[in-house]
Structure formats: C-alpha cells, structure tokens
Amino acid sequence: MPRKAAPKRKTARKTTKTKRRKREADFESRVDDFAEEVERLGRKFEKKGDEWDTWFHKTFGLVGPLISSIFGIIIFAIAIWIIGIVNVPLSSVFLSNVISFLTVNMGMFFLIFMFFSYTSYFSKAWKKIYVPFSPLFTAVGISIALWVIAHAIRIANVTTGSVVLSEIYSAIFGSLFWVFLFFFFVGYLLLVLKINAGKHPHITPDGVFKHKPRILKSRKTNYRMQRLYRSGEDKILGGVCGGIGAYLGIDPVIIRLIWVLAFFAWGIGILAYIIAWIIIPRNPRHSWED
C-alpha cells in the first residue's frame, strides 16, 4: 500500500513546480511591463525636451545657446555659493578644494556650456552640415568628461592621499590627447562605414529620431474574480493610483494625495509606488500603447 502513494507525491511535486514557474513567469512579465512603460515615459520626456529645444532654437537662433550658457553659469555660481555656505560650519577640506576648483575654472565651465549648447543647436538646425563634424564633437565631449573626472579624482585624493588614485589621475590626465585621437578616428571610421552601407537613422523635420512603438500583447486573464489592476485609462505614472481607485471605488485623486503625503511624511512614497508598479499587473482591457 505505501508504494502506491509514490505517484501522487510525484504529481504533487510537478504541480508545485508548475505553479512556481507560473508565478516566476508572471513576475518576469510584470517587470518587463514596468521596464517598457518606464522606457516609453523616458521617450515622452525626451520628446518634450526636444520640442522645447526646437522652440528655443527657433525663437533665439544663434543667440539661444549663448543665453542658455549664461543661465547655466549663473546656476553654477549659485551652486558654488550654496556649497560655500554649507561648508562654513563643516570646515571640510574636501568641500574647500571643490569650491576652489570650481571657482578657478568657472571660465572653463562657461566654455564647456557653450560647446555643448552650440553642439545641440547645430545638430538640430543644420543637420546636414553637422553630420560630417559629429565625430569631432563627440571626441571633444568625451575628452571634456574625462577632464572633469580626472580633476574629481585629484580633489578626492587630497583628503585620502591614495597612491592608486594619484596614478589613476595621472593616467587619465596624461592620456586625454590620445583618447581624443582614438574617438576622433574611430568616429570617422564608423561614419564612413555607415555611409558606405547606406545606414542612416531617419530624422524627422524637427530633428527627433523616430521610434517604432512596440505593440503590447494582452495576456489571457481569468475574470471570474475581481482583481487589482493598474489602470490604462486613468494614469499619470503607471496607472497605480487609478487602478487602486477603481478597485476600491474611490476617486483616484484621493489615492494620489495619500501617496504624495506618504512621500513627504515618511519618504517611502516613491519606493512603494515603484514596487506597486512592478507587482500590480496591467488591466488587459485597457490600451497601453500611449
């Protein structure tokens, strides 16, 4: 008699493994949904930013990058002033070195702001002229980033006195010219290969790269019981509050206010929202393409 019970145990184990795999698949699917929605949200912000840049450049023309650079250096100076106020009671050597470096190189940072502002302007206003020079601008931008990183390492090494950090700073600072040449030649090599292959990214008239939105496939779901879903019709970020409001029969605005209060009162609102965004599935009856 005991031997006949073995097949039931095997069946129970298979059922448990199947359920476990199903739960894992559902969780992975929800994580994929979260990642896709965040990516789409990022594209929306990117599109809005590109629209703002286009309006700004069309309105002010060649003077626009200069205006944005001036505003940038003003904010930069305010940030230095705030760091100085914070450092008064702290008397930190590290912060003092940061303030000294930023103040001495304020003119250099203004030129850096000008470089990136005009690069952005030329890439949108004169796309055909910009493309042949794009590897040059890319190489210069990478060199500038490494220059900033090298000085950040040097400032950090003032307080630590690490030999390793000193060697890293010397290696980065001493190889800036060669890094520039490397990315310069590699950039033009890739540009020539793209021209020969005929592979050019299609650019819309406003200079924004077109994105092909992926069609989201709805999954079959059992509707016999009431489930909590994220709303695709009443959503601002992920549709969590809209879904909870529909599930509880409450105005979603109240749910959003509670979430905002949780963020400012306990500081856990953002983390809780992201977790709910991942765990709560989409409502398959709603459209999630926008």
Tell me the per-residue pLDDT of 41-75, one tens digit each, with 9 for 90 and over: 777 766 666 666 666 666 667 788 888 889 889 99
Q: What's the average model confidence in pLDDT over 153-167? A: 80
**Mean pLDDT score of the chain, rounded to an integer?**
75
Task: Give the structural domain span for 236.
Answer: 226-290
Shared-domain flag, residues 155 and 253: no
**Domain boundary at 180, 197, 214, which?**
197
Identify whether 241 is part of a domain.
yes
Task: Look at the block and give the residue holding tokens 């850096």.
Answer: 112
Shared-domain flag, residues 72 and 191: yes
Three-state SS at 199: coil
Tokens for 200, please give them: 């050019």
Q: Which residues contact 225 (CB under 8 A, 6 or more apart)?
A: none
Shared-domain flag, residues 186 and 235: no
pTM attached to this predicted model: 0.51
Shared-domain flag, residues 261 and 186: no
Shared-domain flag, residues 273 and 140: no
**Domain boundary at 144, 177, 197, which?**
197
Identify whether 213 is part of a domain.
no
State the number of CA atoms in the 13 A half-sphere of 287 facing the CB.
2
Total domains in the fold of the chain: 2
> In which band, very low, low, confident or very high, does the pLDDT at 269 lie, cut at 50, 70 and 90?
low
SS (H, E, C) 105-142: CHHHHHHHHHHHHHHHHHHHHCHHHHHHHHHHHHHHHH
